[in-house]
Amino acid sequence: MSKGNQNSKKSEAGSQKPVRKPKADVKEKAERPKPKAEEIENLAEEPLPTANSKLPTEKMEVHHHPQLDHNPKPWKEYLLEGFMIFIAVMMGFIAENIRENITNDEHARQLTLQLVHDLKADTAQLNYTWHNETQIIKYNDTLLSLLQQPLGKADTRRIQKLAANSHSMWPFHPSPGGMGAIKNELHLKQFSNSDIISYFSRYERHIELLHTAQEINLQYQRTYLDPFLTQHFTPANLIAAFSDSSMPNAQMRELTQRDIDQLASDVVLIRIITKEMVVDNRLLMNDAVSMLHYVTKQYQLQD
């Protein structure tokens, strides 16, 4: 090696300064406690971990429930708890009973209002029917008076008109809505503790009686009046007799005194059953009015 190179290396080595470590490292080393001899021996005795060795597990903490002291309660506390449970059950029962009563009262009110509406409709229909059936009785009476005359003096024109007027009937059809609905709810104490069922029974009995009279009257008309009209009226007179705007003429077909007498006897039967219908009508009218007053008062409804 040449002297120039040696001199350059010396100059570079002389130019580099020694590196000082930070004081903190020195301080840490100074503060780090030296291991004791016993700790070193213990570490030397512990085996080194291998690939198959298990990792150390943490110890599980066991929580023990505290021992509670169950001291017997005084009998007064048991009695008080039982009494409070009894009061709660009774209050629930009373509340449910009140709610059910309110619901039943409203339901009964709606049904009775419907019944009142039906009875008012029935009374209006009965009055209308009674007026027309009473007029038919007057036609029967006048016709009977004319049929007492001999055929030669008989007013056949009026006989035809009155015979057609007697061939009329005004049937009564009750409104069964409210009554039928209440019958299905008779288990309600609002109805079971009342006299409404007796009013129903009497009303329905008279309805059946009136319907029987109506059926008989209809049978009499078909048996007695229809043959007389078809055998002795001309077609034109038959149309005119049932028309409100025209009157039949005096012409009649194959009419004899025997036919006049037979018609008089038949009209007597028709008048009897028509009068029976009028009587039954008034019975029903009285029943409807009595029931209407009872229901209005019993259930505090507006009349």
Quote the pLDDT of residue 13: 44
Query: pTM for the whole thing?
Result: 0.66
Is there a domain that residue 71 lies in?
A: no
* 14 within domain boundaries: no
- What does the block give as tokens for 150? 């001999």
Looking at residue 103, what is its pLDDT? 62
Do the domain assignments include residue 251?
Answer: yes
- DSSP code, position 223: I
* Distance from C-alpha of 250 to C-alpha of 247, rounded to nearest angstrom: 10
Q: Which domain holds residue 235?
A: 112-298
What pLDDT, on the 0 to 100 scale, is given for residue 11? 46
Q: What is the pLDDT of residue 246?
A: 85
Does residue 190 contact residue 105 with C-beta atoms inside 8 Å?
A: yes
* Residue 78 placed within a domain: no
pLDDT at 50: 52
Q: What is the pLDDT along the chain (303 residues), one digit of tens a residue?
A: 444 444 444 444 444 444 454 444 444 444 555 555 555 555 545 555 555 555 555 555 555 555 555 566 677 776 777 777 877 777 776 766 666 666 667 888 889 999 999 999 999 999 999 999 999 999 999 999 999 999 999 999 999 999 999 999 899 999 988 999 888 888 888 888 889 999 999 999 999 999 999 999 999 999 999 999 999 999 999 999 998 778 899 999 999 999 999 999 999 999 999 999 999 999 999 999 999 999 999 888 865
Tell me which residue of 186, 183, 91, 148 sits closest to 267, measured CA to CA: 148
Q: If residue 123 lies in a helix (H) or strand (E), which one and from where to where?
A: helix 75-147
Q: Judge whether 285 lies within some domain.
A: yes
Q: What is the reported pLDDT for 62?
A: 56
Residue 45 domain-assigned (yes or no) = no
Residues whose CB is less than 8 angstroms from the CB of residue 252 and which lie 6 or more positions away in sequence, other chains included: 156, 160, 232, 233, 234, 237
Q: Is residue 279 part of a domain?
A: yes
Domain count, the chain: 1
| 46 within some domain | no
CA-based nearest residue to 242, from 134, 157, 162 = 162
pLDDT of residue 15: 46
Q: What is the pLDDT of residue 10?
A: 44
